[in-house]
A and B are shown apart, each in its own frame.
Chain A
Amino acid sequence: MTSLALDRLNKHFGTQHILRDVSIAMAQGEFVSLLGPSGCGKTTTLRCIAGFEQPSSGRILFGDRDVTAALPEKRDIGMVFQSYALFPHMTVAENLDFGLVARKVPPDERRRRREAVLGMVRLQGFEGRYPRELSGGQQQRVALARALVIEPSVLLLDEPLANLDATLRDEMRFFIRELQQRVGITAIYVTHDQAEAMVMSDRIVVMRAGAIAQVGTPRMIYERPASLDVAAFIGRSNTLEARVEAVAGGGGLYVVRAGPSALRAAGPVGLAPGSAVRLLLRPEAVRVDPPDAAPAGGGNHILARIAASVYQGAAIQLVLETPEGARLIADVNGRRAVAPGQTVALGFAPADAWLLPA
């Protein structure tokens, strides 16, 4: 168990620049997700950490140890793959022993550690089974156990849940997270599923086109995205074109004009009055009020017409049109019927709106 640092990793493949100055510093025991669409460089980053790819420049540090040039087998990593990659010709016990034998752990110690880790993944009594005799979820847990039984410095997970069905995936998210916290191991988790990254991670690294777009806690990434790209990739969001009218006190609060309405919204410090911005509004942050109601306690109102309403059970998704022609999506309580065609006031708190330079 150790901290991990990537220091300005670059990777070229032919004329392609696959990784651009990727730097991440992780504390010991931290769970960090690399999140991004396919081809963003997250898997390449993970393979550089594992040693299966060599960065063109930059350094990789496990604690104080520079492993940039080390072979994968010398790095002391535990890795879980999307395909589980269990050894099909070995039983569960032999799969778990593989790394222990390579480390010359004596047989009785092997058995002790094997039993402990099988207990952790709730697979006691499965030692003699072959991978083909296990369900996908069980194979996944064997893969996890095989990576953990060697007590590696860092745990690397490459989309380990992508092949599981939805219910099992939800369950495994919490299972992996809980296990990682119990063991206290530093973990890097590659995924393209933002919901997965959200619920599991201490911090998320959003990657795009080989570069880091933003690093932050799930809450920061979701509520205070660094760019429109990040905002578009994480969850759904509405964007309104607006212009900064004034800085409303310190701490990044602004008054902006979007169409006829003056709105108060949060934004990064340093937006100049007069500059064009996009106002970002999450669908679930929007409240539907009667059109003549006064905005509650320093809130904002935008008038809009309900163009469509889709019942989704827990929520109703409303598609709204402002008089200026902007389309907005709002998720409102599913128990309250809202008729299309109605004009309503959309209310939201200044802190729930986020400004980004256009």
Chain B
Amino acid sequence: MTETRTGAPVAPQHLRMLWMLAPAFVLLLLFFILPYVSIATMSLREASTRAVHGEGWTVSHYTTALTDAYILTVIGRTVLMGGLVTLLALLLGYPVAYHLAMSRSRWTSLLYVCVLSPLLVGLVVRTFAWMIILSNNGVVNQTLRSLGLIDFPLQLMNTPAGVVIALTHVFLPFVVLPLLGNLQAINPEVSMAARSLGASRLRTFLKVTLPLSLPGLQAGAILVFVLSISAYVTPALLGGVRGRTMSVLIVQYLVDTFRWPAGAALATIMAAVALIAVTLFLLLTARAMRRLP
């Protein structure tokens, strides 16, 4: 006996499931795309003293910003700090993720909590805690001084260094979690096979485990980079003038001096810079990624 389907032709599975994207798409449209469109539009309007923006259209906010040495310095600093935070988080997070993925100890759940702990404390509270730790009379400097390692306090507050330290701390989970999922999904027999073929632990890691964990590495790196360059509270409270980032500068434009169109232009530039940086990163890793299933 054969069974045949009757009735109207059915759309392919992937098309019928398209409606599942709808709620997320609506959310994205309302709270992401529309605000961006409005920011981008505003960045092209003339400045005005009477309203948020004036009547005419102009690209002068862009040309001014992109020829201003100070703004370019802040953009460079923001990207550099973001890159540094990403690198540090990867270097610190990879061993943790590796350990968590390989360990069969019952203490691993405790380590999970430790990894997630930066996210369990409110942003502002955490940042003030870092102020206590990093200030000239703070925990770090007092310890170093009592050990006789330094004569004068290290300037950690109001510098990029403090911001990088604090951001690395809070964004560590964003590296560890994707990496952990990735490492756990790698068949442990694959590295055993490498060992059996004569590769040392190090060679096995470099030739097998590391390339196979590239997707997790990539996801973690992008997350941390994007979050770092758009972070506001941490650089605002810890960065001072020398550690000022684009998001702090943009808020100054918008809130302190009410230069909305110019601030909107800076925000758009920053979004473009982030997009370019992420695209470059993806292109750089594409060759290695293509080999992966």
Q: Which residues of A contact B (CB under 8 A)?
A: 50-52, 71-73, 75-79, 81-83, 85-90, 98-99, 102-103, 130-132, 143, 146-147, 150, 156
A99 touches B292 (CB 8 A): no
Partner of B197, one of A82, A131, A150, A156: A150
Complex-state Cα separation, A304 to B270, whole angstroms: 91
Task: Give the number of residues in B that approach A within 8 Å (Cβ atoms).
Answer: 21
Q: Is the CB of B200 within 8 A of A85?
A: no
Query: Given A87-B208, A90-B291, A102-B203, does the pair A73, B196 have CB atoms closer than 8 Å?
Result: yes
Contact B190 A103 (CB under 8 A): no
Tell me which residues from 251 to 293 in chain B have a Cβ below 8 Å from any Cβ of chain A: 288, 291-293
Nearest B residue (CB) for A50: B196
Q: Does B194 lie within 8 Å of A87, measured CB to CB?
A: yes
Q: Which residues of A contact B187 (CB under 8 A)?
A: 83, 85
A241 to B29, CA, bound (A): 80
Query: What is the interface of chain B mostly: helix, strand, loop, or mixed?
Result: helix
B195 CB contacts on chain A under 8 angstroms: 51-52, 71-73
Q: Which residues of A contact B207 (CB under 8 A)?
A: 98
Task: List residues of B (190-206) whose CB comes within 8 Å of A's CBs.
Answer: 190, 192-200, 203
Chain B positions within 8 Å of A, measured between CB atoms, are 187, 189-190, 192-200, 203, 207-208, 211-212, 288, 291-293
The distance in angstroms between the C-alpha atoms of A37 and B208, with both chains bound, is 32
Supplied contacts A52-B195, A79-B196, A89-B212, 10 more A-B pairs, CB within 8 Å: A81-B192, A81-B193, A82-B189, A86-B190, A88-B212, A89-B288, A98-B197, A103-B198, A146-B193, A150-B197
User: Known: A72-B196, A146-B197. Contact between A81 and B212, CB under 8 A?
Assistant: no
Query: Closest CB-CB distance, A104 to chain B, in whole Å?
Result: 10
Which residues of B sit under 8 angstroms from A79, Cβ to Cβ? 192-193, 196
Q: Report the 8 A-B pairs with minimum CB-CB distance, sorted nearest first.
A: A99-B197, A102-B198, A85-B189, A85-B193, A79-B196, A72-B195, A89-B291, A81-B189
Q: Chain A nearest CB: distance from B99 CB in Å?
A: 19
A19 to chain B, nearest CB (A): 19
